[in-house]
Amino acid sequence: MFAVDEVRPAPASVIEVGDARERFAQWREGKAGKVLAISVIGDSYSAGQDFYLNKLVQRLTHEAGFAGPGYVGFNHGAALGGTHYKYTRGSEKYFGGGWDVSGLGQASPDSRTITGQPGAYLEIDAHSTASVDTSIAQAKLLYLGDGKASEVRYRWTASDTWHSLQLGGSGVQEVLLPGASDTAAWAFRLEVVKGAPTLFGLWLSNREGGVRVSKLAASGAASADFYHSDGPWQTQWKAVVSKIPADIYLIMLGGNDQGFGVNPEQYLANIQGLVRMVREIHPAASINLILRQDTTRSSAYPMSAYAQVLEPWAHKEHLGYANMQCAFGADVKRYALGGPAPMIGPDRIHPIPGAGGRVIADYLHRLIVGGNKAVSPQVRCQASVFRACLSRSAPADSTTPLS
């Protein structure tokens, strides 16, 4: 095991790095368009951008450029939330006036919707840096029509004039939001004027080339929140997520499945359903499944039990597969709070941002970008890692390309 301030090159966890890294390399060589769009599906590890996602996106944009935030959901905001895009449902500055927030499991990019009444408002503030241009070239509002007329108004700065917007139709809808200025510092405010509109979020781009990371994650979500077996739910989910371009998917679910005691077979069935939907709407996208490391919390199944069913299927389907256990090391108690190299916080679940979060960001960065310290198919995580700290072990000698 290693100290937090001595993060070593992360070995691959029974994986072979393949198409995700190749896709990034091809794009950077100018062979795959101006923008590389990445969608991250996950739970609170990904929804709470401070854990790892903000660090990862900033590293990618510093190296490859920033093409805008992509999907900015009204559930958890942007991947660069907190630093460049400020929004939270927990503050009346950014969210208030009478929104009804749905439960988890909606057919939405980030598993929730919000429904307003007259007077409800929300705000997203943007601040650029040298490597992140937050100016807006195109903006869209994604919403769910119910066949009734609603009206909202919006502005991009406090000194801007209000723009009125009529929302109608049935099912998933998108509407352009003109009027954005070229300034990188803005404060988008939307207010409900009439009716009860149900909203998903915004999709935003700038005029630059680079990576565009959309956060499709929800705190508390399990695999069943991103896959339902009924047709209408799937139709709606595919309709709205298809409006968010994606070249690469990073899917990291399973932590809450473990917490809820979901058996590995049901977890696998949910992931299989989610992957099928993604393939239907973005058949050329690279889909990569990432399994979270174990923690010291009490649970019915260790994460290795989910690995035992997920890894063989990912291999069969030519999907990417990576296991965070290899980035954290074999000894769970060592990286738990109170251990010699603490990486997990006092709730025994979430990573300490500057420790465990740093390890995750570093691992995924190497997975995508490659380079001299890339996650390598020649350096595999040994099965002894799992036998040392978990009650079940993942298969030791199989490899799965990141596709």
pLDDT of residue 30: 85
Give me the domain span that covers residue 384. Answer: 1-67+209-403
- Name the DSSP class of 102: P
Report the DSSP beta bridge partners of residue 122.
95, 190
Domain co-membership, 248 together with 186: no
Number of alpha helices (DSSP H) and beta strands (DSSP E) in the chain: 11, 17
CATH number of the domain that 266 lies in?
3.40.50.1110
Whether residues 182 and 221 fall in one domain: no
Among 206, 225, 253, identify where a domain stops.
206
Tell whether 230 and 120 lie within a shared domain: no
If asked whether residues 91 and 230 sit together in one domain, one would say: no
Same domain? For 188 and 258 the reply is no
Q: Do 163 and 55 sit in the same domain of this protein?
A: no
Whether 159 and 304 share a structural domain: no
155, 174, 206: which is the final residue of a domain? 206
Say if residue 172 is in the same domain as residue 250.
no
227 and 366 inside one domain: yes
Q: How far is CA 141 from the centre of its chain?
A: 19
The position carrying tokens 């807006």 is 136
Question: Are residue 280 and residue 192 in the same domain, yes or no?
Answer: no
- Residue 102: which CATH number? 2.60.120.260
Residues 176, 181, 186, CA angle at the centre, nearest 5°? 95
Q: Where are the beta strands (DSSP E) in 60-162?
A: 70-73, 85-86, 95-96, 100-101, 114-115, 121-126, 138-146, 150-155
pLDDT (0 to 100) of residue 85 = 98
63 with 79, same domain? Answer: no
Provide the pLDDT for residue 400.
Answer: 37
* pTM, to two decimals: 0.89
Of 206, 226, 261, at which residue does a domain stop?
206
Say yes or no: 234 and 91 in one domain.
no
Joined together, the tokens standing for residue 188 give 């988008």
Give 10-residue mean pLDDT values along the chain (403 residues): 34 43 83 92 95 97 96 98 96 97 98 98 96 96 98 96 97 96 91 99 97 98 98 99 97 97 98 98 94 94 97 93 93 95 96 96 91 44 38 32 36
Residue 379 has what pLDDT? 36
Domain count, the chain: 2
| 361 in Cβ contact with 375 (< 8 Å) | no
